[in-house]
Amino acid sequence: MMTRNVTLTILIILTTLFLSNIVFSQEDSKNNELSEKEKIKHNIELSGELKLIDKSGPEKVKDKWKISGWVGYNSYKMGIFNKKLSGEGNKKIDNGLNMGLEVVPSSFKLNLAKLIGISSIESDSVPIKLPTSFPLGFEYLEAKSRTIHGGDITVNWELPVTGFYISPEIDVSELFEKQKEEKRKNDEGLRLKLRPLGVGYYRLGKLMDAKLTLTGEPGHLKASSEAIGISVLSKLEYREDDFEIYVEGGYRWLEFTDVLREPKGGFAGNAAASALPETLDYSGFIIRGGIAWRY
């Protein structure tokens, strides 16, 4: 009898342990499932945060556009034409007024290291990325010579040029700053910028007539041509909130090599005065100042 009771007791204990094991296994399975779900959720959230941090697209500096206006002077080569003017006793065209307007889209960050083929730059004082923009502009170049001969004959050359251009602008100030980029406040203060390669399309006598007029002679001699110009500029800018003032200087290559000459309105003139050369060279140095407003 005692043996039977002991056996029954052992069976009850084993059954209890078996059932307990099943319950604990189910709870562990549920906990593991919850743990896996939490891990997946955590990984998804972490992945989303990494995507927000590690953007593949360009990083915006300040989501504002700006409009800019400037005025200055250009020097001109005009070698062939100035020889002609001097030979006739007329004033040469050595320089002229230059003015223009620009619209500048909001900047993005240029990866300098990738651009020059360096995988990384391990220095807090040399940022890898530099603010870059692509200004679009319209400009006017003045070129004129007015000479009075003997009080009764005036030789008046007016050869204005107008053009549209795009001139990428890179803010290189951060390369020379000791403080980190995030410590600066909206890029205020003095900034140094470069325009390493500007390209424009220019027309002689398009929006404004390019011509020669002589007193006592009817009509005029019209000149027209078109050319591509290339410029290199550096810029020193002071920014306060959304207002900027700046000066810039550089060089422009611009030569009209096939100038069309057309007498208009019965213009006759004399051969010496009206023989405009086929080449007009507006290449020369640029110096100008301007203001800009961000909006």
Spatial contact of 242 and 291, defined as CB atoms under 8 Å apart: no
Each residue's pLDDT, cut to its tens digit, for the chain (295 residues) gives: 545 554 555 555 555 555 555 444 555 555 555 455 565 555 555 455 444 444 444 444 445 788 999 999 999 999 889 988 888 888 999 999 999 999 988 776 666 555 555 444 444 444 456 778 889 999 999 999 998 887 778 889 999 999 999 999 988 887 766 544 444 555 678 889 999 999 999 999 888 899 998 887 888 889 999 999 999 999 999 988 889 999 999 999 999 998 988 888 888 765 545 567 778 999 999 999 999 998 8
The string over 119-156, giving b where at least 16 C-beta atoms fall within 10 Å of a residue's C-beta and e elsewhere, is eeeeeeeebbbbbbbebebebbbbbebeeeeeeeeebb
Query: 57-294: what CATH class?
Result: mainly beta
| Boundaries of every domain in the chain | 1-54, 57-294
Strand blocks (E) in the chain: 66-75, 95-104, 108-111, 129-133, 136-141, 144-149, 153-158, 161-166, 169-171, 189-204, 210-214, 220-240, 243-253, 255-256, 260-264, 280-281, 284-294
